Amino acid sequence: MDALKGFRPYVTWANARGAWPEMIFSTRVRFARNLQGFNFPNRSEPRQLAEIRRLALAAARETGLFPRGHFIKVETLTALEKGFLVERHHVSHALAASVLPSGAAVSNDEDLSVMINEEDHLRLQCLNAGFAIEDAFRSALKLDLALGRELPFAYAGNFGFLTACPTNVGTGMRVSCLAHLPALSRLGSMPQVLENLSHLGVTARGIYGEGTYVLGDFYQISNATCLGRTEEEFCQNIDRVIRNLIRQEIAAREALLKGPARLKTEDAVYRALGLLRHARSLSYEEFMQNISLARMGAAMGWNMGLDFSTFNQTTLLMQPAHIQAAAGRVLTPPERDAFRAEYTRKKFA
Protein backbone atom coordinates (compact mmCIF):
# COMPACT_ATOMS: atom_id res chain seq x y z
CA MET A 1 0.00 0.00 0.00
CA ASP A 2 3.13 2.22 -0.11
CA ALA A 3 2.12 3.84 -3.39
CA LEU A 4 -1.03 5.19 -1.76
CA LYS A 5 0.78 6.92 1.09
CA GLY A 6 -0.20 10.56 0.98
CA PHE A 7 -3.67 9.87 -0.40
CA ARG A 8 -6.14 11.08 2.19
CA PRO A 9 -9.38 9.15 2.74
CA TYR A 10 -11.49 12.26 2.08
CA VAL A 11 -11.27 14.35 -1.06
CA THR A 12 -12.47 17.89 -1.57
CA TRP A 13 -14.21 17.05 -4.86
CA ALA A 14 -16.60 14.78 -2.94
CA ASN A 15 -17.86 17.59 -0.70
CA ALA A 16 -21.42 18.81 -1.21
CA ARG A 17 -21.16 22.05 -3.14
CA GLY A 18 -22.93 24.23 -5.67
CA ALA A 19 -26.55 24.26 -6.74
CA TRP A 20 -28.45 20.99 -6.12
CA PRO A 21 -25.75 19.22 -4.07
CA GLU A 22 -28.32 16.47 -3.38
CA MET A 23 -28.43 15.63 -7.07
CA ILE A 24 -25.06 16.51 -8.60
CA PHE A 25 -22.16 14.73 -6.91
CA SER A 26 -19.29 16.06 -9.02
CA THR A 27 -18.29 17.60 -12.34
CA ARG A 28 -15.42 16.44 -14.50
CA VAL A 29 -13.80 17.96 -17.57
CA ARG A 30 -11.21 15.94 -19.42
CA PHE A 31 -9.07 16.51 -22.50
CA ALA A 32 -7.58 13.74 -24.65
CA ARG A 33 -4.14 14.74 -25.93
CA ASN A 34 -1.33 13.00 -27.81
CA LEU A 35 2.29 13.80 -28.51
CA GLN A 36 3.40 14.69 -32.01
CA GLY A 37 6.10 12.33 -33.30
CA PHE A 38 4.94 9.24 -31.42
CA ASN A 39 2.55 6.49 -32.44
CA PHE A 40 -0.62 6.26 -30.39
CA PRO A 41 -0.29 3.88 -27.40
CA ASN A 42 -1.99 0.94 -29.18
CA ARG A 43 0.77 1.04 -31.82
CA SER A 44 3.73 1.91 -29.58
CA GLU A 45 6.39 -0.45 -28.30
CA PRO A 46 6.95 -0.71 -24.54
CA ARG A 47 10.17 1.36 -24.72
CA GLN A 48 8.30 4.16 -26.49
CA LEU A 49 5.52 3.99 -23.91
CA ALA A 50 8.15 4.30 -21.19
CA GLU A 51 9.62 7.33 -23.00
CA ILE A 52 6.18 8.97 -23.28
CA ARG A 53 5.52 8.36 -19.60
CA ARG A 54 8.89 9.85 -18.64
CA LEU A 55 8.18 12.95 -20.75
CA ALA A 56 4.61 13.30 -19.48
CA LEU A 57 5.46 12.95 -15.79
CA ALA A 58 8.34 15.44 -16.18
CA ALA A 59 6.02 17.87 -18.00
CA ALA A 60 3.37 17.55 -15.29
CA ARG A 61 6.01 18.44 -12.66
CA GLU A 62 7.18 21.38 -14.77
CA THR A 63 3.68 22.90 -14.91
CA GLY A 64 3.90 23.65 -11.19
CA LEU A 65 0.27 22.55 -10.85
CA PHE A 66 1.14 19.37 -8.92
CA PRO A 67 2.96 20.55 -5.77
CA ARG A 68 3.27 17.63 -3.32
CA GLY A 69 1.44 15.59 -5.96
CA HIS A 70 1.64 11.93 -6.80
CA PHE A 71 3.63 10.69 -9.81
CA ILE A 72 2.82 7.05 -10.35
CA LYS A 73 4.01 4.20 -12.57
CA VAL A 74 0.70 2.37 -12.74
CA GLU A 75 1.86 -1.05 -13.95
CA THR A 76 4.10 -1.39 -10.90
CA LEU A 77 1.16 -1.09 -8.48
CA THR A 78 -0.65 -3.95 -6.78
CA ALA A 79 -4.20 -4.82 -7.87
CA LEU A 80 -5.52 -3.16 -4.73
CA GLU A 81 -3.60 0.07 -5.34
CA LYS A 82 -4.82 0.18 -8.94
CA GLY A 83 -8.38 -0.46 -7.73
CA PHE A 84 -8.10 2.50 -5.36
CA LEU A 85 -7.04 4.83 -8.19
CA VAL A 86 -9.89 3.54 -10.38
CA GLU A 87 -12.38 4.23 -7.61
CA ARG A 88 -10.93 7.73 -7.29
CA HIS A 89 -11.45 8.23 -11.05
CA HIS A 90 -7.74 8.95 -11.65
CA VAL A 91 -7.21 5.76 -13.67
CA SER A 92 -9.62 3.84 -15.91
CA HIS A 93 -10.41 0.13 -15.66
CA ALA A 94 -8.64 -0.33 -19.01
CA LEU A 95 -5.42 1.32 -17.80
CA ALA A 96 -5.47 -0.64 -14.54
CA ALA A 97 -5.63 -3.88 -16.56
CA SER A 98 -2.59 -2.98 -18.69
CA VAL A 99 0.86 -4.43 -17.96
CA LEU A 100 2.61 -1.93 -20.27
CA PRO A 101 4.36 1.26 -19.07
CA SER A 102 1.61 3.63 -18.01
CA GLY A 103 1.28 6.38 -15.47
CA ALA A 104 -0.71 8.91 -13.55
CA ALA A 105 0.05 12.32 -12.10
CA VAL A 106 -2.41 13.35 -9.40
CA SER A 107 -2.46 16.70 -7.61
CA ASN A 108 -2.28 16.75 -3.82
CA ASP A 109 -5.96 17.51 -3.34
CA GLU A 110 -6.81 15.22 -6.25
CA ASP A 111 -8.76 17.72 -8.32
CA LEU A 112 -6.25 17.54 -11.19
CA SER A 113 -4.89 14.40 -12.75
CA VAL A 114 -3.20 13.15 -15.89
CA MET A 115 -3.61 9.57 -17.02
CA ILE A 116 -0.71 8.45 -19.21
CA ASN A 117 -0.74 5.83 -22.01
CA GLU A 118 -4.33 4.76 -21.87
CA GLU A 119 -6.06 4.96 -25.27
CA ASP A 120 -4.32 8.32 -25.77
CA HIS A 121 -0.92 9.45 -24.52
CA LEU A 122 -2.54 11.89 -22.10
CA ARG A 123 -5.97 12.15 -20.58
CA LEU A 124 -5.90 15.19 -18.37
CA GLN A 125 -8.81 16.07 -16.16
CA CYS A 126 -10.20 18.32 -13.50
CA LEU A 127 -12.69 16.94 -10.97
CA ASN A 128 -14.71 19.44 -8.96
CA ALA A 129 -17.33 19.05 -6.27
CA GLY A 130 -21.00 19.51 -7.20
CA PHE A 131 -22.40 21.23 -10.28
CA ALA A 132 -19.41 23.26 -11.42
CA ILE A 133 -18.98 23.05 -15.18
CA GLU A 134 -17.44 26.52 -15.57
CA ASP A 135 -14.89 26.02 -12.76
CA ALA A 136 -13.92 22.53 -13.86
CA PHE A 137 -13.52 23.71 -17.45
CA ARG A 138 -11.28 26.66 -16.45
CA SER A 139 -9.04 24.44 -14.30
CA ALA A 140 -8.78 21.67 -16.90
CA LEU A 141 -7.98 24.26 -19.58
CA LYS A 142 -5.26 25.76 -17.37
CA LEU A 143 -3.67 22.31 -17.04
CA ASP A 144 -4.06 21.72 -20.79
CA LEU A 145 -2.39 25.02 -21.67
CA ALA A 146 0.45 24.40 -19.22
CA LEU A 147 1.13 20.89 -20.53
CA GLY A 148 0.83 22.11 -24.13
CA ARG A 149 3.71 24.51 -23.43
CA GLU A 150 5.91 21.65 -22.16
CA LEU A 151 5.07 19.04 -24.80
CA PRO A 152 4.19 19.12 -28.52
CA PHE A 153 0.56 18.05 -28.78
CA ALA A 154 -0.62 16.38 -31.98
CA TYR A 155 -2.88 18.97 -33.64
CA ALA A 156 -4.12 19.69 -37.15
CA GLY A 157 -5.96 22.84 -38.21
CA ASN A 158 -8.85 20.96 -39.81
CA PHE A 159 -9.32 18.12 -37.30
CA GLY A 160 -8.16 19.79 -34.08
CA PHE A 161 -6.47 17.73 -31.37
CA LEU A 162 -5.71 14.29 -32.82
CA THR A 163 -6.70 11.21 -30.85
CA ALA A 164 -6.40 7.44 -31.26
CA CYS A 165 -10.15 7.08 -31.65
CA PRO A 166 -11.96 9.48 -34.02
CA THR A 167 -14.79 9.76 -31.49
CA ASN A 168 -12.49 11.98 -29.38
CA VAL A 169 -10.88 14.11 -32.10
CA GLY A 170 -11.44 17.86 -32.27
CA THR A 171 -11.67 19.46 -28.88
CA GLY A 172 -10.78 16.09 -27.26
CA MET A 173 -13.02 17.28 -24.48
CA ARG A 174 -15.56 15.42 -22.41
CA VAL A 175 -17.48 17.32 -19.77
CA SER A 176 -19.54 15.21 -17.41
CA CYS A 177 -21.62 15.48 -14.27
CA LEU A 178 -22.22 12.60 -11.88
CA ALA A 179 -25.95 12.89 -11.28
CA HIS A 180 -28.02 11.06 -8.67
CA LEU A 181 -31.45 10.31 -10.18
CA PRO A 182 -33.23 7.93 -7.78
CA ALA A 183 -36.79 9.23 -8.29
CA LEU A 184 -36.66 8.95 -12.09
CA SER A 185 -35.26 5.44 -11.59
CA ARG A 186 -38.03 4.44 -9.13
CA LEU A 187 -40.72 5.70 -11.49
CA GLY A 188 -39.20 3.61 -14.28
CA SER A 189 -38.60 6.74 -16.37
CA MET A 190 -34.88 6.26 -16.95
CA PRO A 191 -35.11 4.32 -20.26
CA GLN A 192 -37.16 7.18 -21.75
CA VAL A 193 -34.88 9.84 -20.22
CA LEU A 194 -31.78 8.12 -21.66
CA GLU A 195 -33.47 7.80 -25.05
CA ASN A 196 -34.22 11.54 -25.03
CA LEU A 197 -30.62 12.34 -24.01
CA SER A 198 -29.26 10.43 -26.99
CA HIS A 199 -31.02 12.92 -29.30
CA LEU A 200 -29.35 15.85 -27.54
CA GLY A 201 -25.78 14.74 -28.25
CA VAL A 202 -25.43 13.46 -24.71
CA THR A 203 -24.43 10.06 -23.28
CA ALA A 204 -25.20 8.51 -19.90
CA ARG A 205 -22.75 6.04 -18.40
CA GLY A 206 -22.28 4.19 -15.14
CA ILE A 207 -20.35 5.52 -12.18
CA TYR A 208 -16.88 4.46 -13.43
CA GLY A 209 -17.35 5.67 -17.00
CA GLU A 210 -17.47 3.84 -20.28
CA GLY A 211 -18.78 0.28 -20.19
CA THR A 212 -19.61 0.31 -16.48
CA TYR A 213 -23.01 -0.42 -15.03
CA VAL A 214 -25.23 1.90 -13.06
CA LEU A 215 -24.87 1.72 -9.28
CA GLY A 216 -27.04 3.48 -6.71
CA ASP A 217 -28.89 5.45 -9.42
CA PHE A 218 -25.76 7.47 -10.24
CA TYR A 219 -25.37 8.41 -13.90
CA GLN A 220 -22.42 10.08 -15.56
CA ILE A 221 -23.91 12.47 -18.10
CA SER A 222 -21.50 13.70 -20.77
CA ASN A 223 -21.26 15.09 -24.31
CA ALA A 224 -21.37 12.33 -26.95
CA THR A 225 -19.52 14.33 -29.60
CA CYS A 226 -16.60 16.73 -29.35
CA LEU A 227 -15.97 18.05 -32.87
CA GLY A 228 -17.58 20.91 -34.77
CA ARG A 229 -18.42 23.15 -31.83
CA THR A 230 -16.29 25.17 -29.45
CA GLU A 231 -15.38 23.91 -25.99
CA GLU A 232 -17.66 26.54 -24.47
CA GLU A 233 -20.58 25.41 -26.65
CA PHE A 234 -20.16 21.81 -25.53
CA CYS A 235 -20.09 23.00 -21.90
CA GLN A 236 -23.23 25.07 -22.41
CA ASN A 237 -25.05 22.12 -23.96
CA ILE A 238 -24.26 19.85 -20.99
CA ASP A 239 -25.23 22.65 -18.61
CA ARG A 240 -28.63 22.94 -20.32
CA VAL A 241 -29.16 19.19 -20.34
CA ILE A 242 -28.25 18.83 -16.65
CA ARG A 243 -30.59 21.66 -15.62
CA ASN A 244 -33.37 19.99 -17.57
CA LEU A 245 -32.59 16.61 -15.97
CA ILE A 246 -32.69 18.22 -12.53
CA ARG A 247 -36.15 19.65 -13.29
CA GLN A 248 -37.32 16.18 -14.32
CA GLU A 249 -35.85 14.59 -11.17
CA ILE A 250 -37.53 17.23 -8.99
CA ALA A 251 -40.88 16.53 -10.70
CA ALA A 252 -40.35 12.78 -10.18
CA ARG A 253 -39.59 13.34 -6.48
CA GLU A 254 -42.81 15.36 -6.16
CA ALA A 255 -44.72 12.52 -7.83
CA LEU A 256 -43.25 10.08 -5.29
CA LEU A 257 -44.65 12.22 -2.45
CA LYS A 258 -48.17 12.64 -3.83
CA GLY A 259 -51.18 10.69 -2.53
CA PRO A 260 -50.75 6.99 -1.84
CA ALA A 261 -47.26 7.01 -3.41
CA ARG A 262 -45.96 8.93 -0.39
CA LEU A 263 -46.39 6.05 2.07
CA LYS A 264 -44.64 3.65 -0.30
CA THR A 265 -41.74 6.10 -0.76
CA GLU A 266 -41.45 6.78 2.95
CA ASP A 267 -41.53 3.06 3.70
CA ALA A 268 -38.80 2.33 1.12
CA VAL A 269 -36.55 5.13 2.43
CA TYR A 270 -36.88 4.19 6.11
CA ARG A 271 -36.42 0.48 5.37
CA ALA A 272 -33.20 1.41 3.60
CA LEU A 273 -32.13 3.49 6.58
CA GLY A 274 -32.94 0.56 8.90
CA LEU A 275 -30.78 -1.72 6.80
CA LEU A 276 -27.86 0.75 6.77
CA ARG A 277 -28.19 1.16 10.55
CA HIS A 278 -28.42 -2.50 11.46
CA ALA A 279 -27.00 -4.79 8.78
CA ARG A 280 -24.02 -6.98 9.75
CA SER A 281 -22.92 -7.67 6.20
CA LEU A 282 -23.35 -5.31 3.24
CA SER A 283 -22.21 -5.96 -0.30
CA TYR A 284 -21.21 -2.87 -2.31
CA GLU A 285 -24.29 -3.22 -4.56
CA GLU A 286 -26.66 -3.51 -1.59
CA PHE A 287 -24.96 -0.58 0.12
CA MET A 288 -25.35 1.55 -3.02
CA GLN A 289 -29.04 0.66 -3.48
CA ASN A 290 -29.84 1.58 0.09
CA ILE A 291 -27.69 4.68 0.46
CA SER A 292 -29.30 5.92 -2.74
CA LEU A 293 -32.73 5.72 -1.08
CA ALA A 294 -31.48 7.29 2.15
CA ARG A 295 -29.89 10.10 0.15
CA MET A 296 -33.20 10.72 -1.60
CA GLY A 297 -34.93 10.69 1.80
CA ALA A 298 -32.52 13.37 3.04
CA ALA A 299 -33.25 15.42 -0.10
CA MET A 300 -36.98 15.10 0.70
CA GLY A 301 -36.27 16.70 4.05
CA TRP A 302 -36.39 13.60 6.28
CA ASN A 303 -33.72 13.25 8.93
CA MET A 304 -31.30 10.53 7.84
CA GLY A 305 -28.62 11.70 10.29
CA LEU A 306 -26.09 12.63 7.59
CA ASP A 307 -25.40 15.81 5.63
CA PHE A 308 -24.72 15.56 1.89
CA SER A 309 -20.94 15.89 2.23
CA THR A 310 -20.94 12.88 4.57
CA PHE A 311 -23.23 10.99 2.19
CA ASN A 312 -20.76 11.65 -0.63
CA GLN A 313 -17.61 10.81 1.33
CA THR A 314 -19.20 7.65 2.74
CA THR A 315 -20.24 6.56 -0.76
CA LEU A 316 -16.64 7.05 -1.86
CA LEU A 317 -15.11 5.25 1.13
CA MET A 318 -17.34 2.18 0.93
CA GLN A 319 -16.02 1.13 -2.48
CA PRO A 320 -14.23 -2.25 -2.45
CA ALA A 321 -10.62 -1.00 -2.80
CA HIS A 322 -11.23 1.92 -0.43
CA ILE A 323 -12.45 -0.48 2.25
CA GLN A 324 -9.26 -2.49 1.94
CA ALA A 325 -7.11 0.64 1.88
CA ALA A 326 -8.79 1.68 5.15
CA ALA A 327 -8.23 -1.81 6.61
CA GLY A 328 -4.61 -1.66 5.43
CA ARG A 329 -4.71 -5.11 3.87
CA VAL A 330 -6.38 -7.29 1.24
CA LEU A 331 -9.75 -8.53 2.52
CA THR A 332 -11.90 -11.42 1.28
CA PRO A 333 -15.35 -10.37 -0.03
CA PRO A 334 -17.13 -11.55 3.18
CA GLU A 335 -14.60 -9.61 5.29
CA ARG A 336 -15.18 -6.53 3.13
CA ASP A 337 -18.95 -6.79 3.50
CA ALA A 338 -18.64 -7.10 7.28
CA PHE A 339 -16.26 -4.11 7.41
CA ARG A 340 -18.64 -2.08 5.21
CA ALA A 341 -21.64 -2.91 7.42
CA GLU A 342 -19.73 -1.98 10.57
CA TYR A 343 -18.57 1.37 9.16
CA THR A 344 -22.05 2.19 7.80
CA ARG A 345 -23.67 1.27 11.11
CA LYS A 346 -21.45 3.73 12.95
CA LYS A 347 -22.05 6.49 10.37
CA PHE A 348 -25.84 6.19 10.50
CA ALA A 349 -26.09 5.49 14.25
Strand order in the sheet with 24-33: 70-73, 103-106, 112-116, 122-129, 24-33, 173-180, 218-223, 202-205
* Minimal distance, residue 54 CB to other proteins, in Å: 7
- Name which of 150 and 266 has its Cβ closer to other proteins: 150
Asked whether position 20 contacts other proteins by CB under 8 A, the answer is no
User: What is d(CA 15, CA 163) in angstroms, rounded to the nearest whole number?
Assistant: 33
Binding of other proteins by 71 (CB under 8 A): no
Asked whether position 118 contacts other proteins by CB under 8 A, the answer is no
C-beta of 48 vs 283, nearer to other proteins = 48
Q: Give the count of beta carbons closer than 10 Å to the beta carbon of residue 247.
A: 10
If one asks whether residue 197 binds other proteins (CB under 8 A), the answer comes out as no
CB 178 within 8 A of CB 207: yes
Answer yes or no whether residue 161 interacts with other proteins by CB under 8 A.
Answer: yes
Measured CA angle at 154 (ends 151, 157), to 5 deg: 125
Residue 328's Cβ-count burial label (10 Å; 0-12, 13-18, 19+) is: exposed
Rounded to an integer, what distance in angstroms lies between the CA atom of residue 128 and that of residue 302?
A: 27
By CB under 8 A, tell whether 12 contacts other proteins. no
For helices 79-87 and 320-327, angle between their N-to-C axes, nearest 10 degrees: 120
Q: What is the spatial distance between Cα 65 and Cα 108, in angstroms, rounded to a whole number?
A: 9
Residue among 160, 212, 289, 335 that touches other proteins (CB under 8 A): 160
Q: How many CB atoms lie within 10 A of CB 192?
A: 12
Query: What's the min distance (Å) between Cβ of 65 and other proteins?
Result: 16
Beta bridge partners of 177: 27, 221
Site for other proteins in 120-149 (CB under 8 A): 148-149
Nearer to other proteins, 215 or 235 (CB): 235
Pattern 269-298, other proteins, x by CB under 8 A? ------------------------------
If one asks whether residue 225 binds other proteins (CB under 8 A), the answer comes out as yes
Question: Nearer to other proteins by C-beta: 238 or 306?
Answer: 238
Query: Scanning residues 31 to 60, which ones bind other proteins (CB under 8 A)?
Result: 34-40, 42-43, 47-48, 51, 54-55, 58
Q: Does 10 bind other proteins (CB under 8 A)?
A: no
Q: Identify whether the C-beta of residue 159 lies closer than 8 Å to the C-beta of residue 170.
A: yes
Task: Pick between residue 20 and residue 161 the one whose CB is nearest to other proteins.
Answer: 161
Q: Where on the chain is the footprint of other proteins (CB under 8 A)?
A: 34-40, 42-43, 47-48, 51, 54-55, 58, 119, 148-162, 164-167, 169-171, 173, 201, 225-231
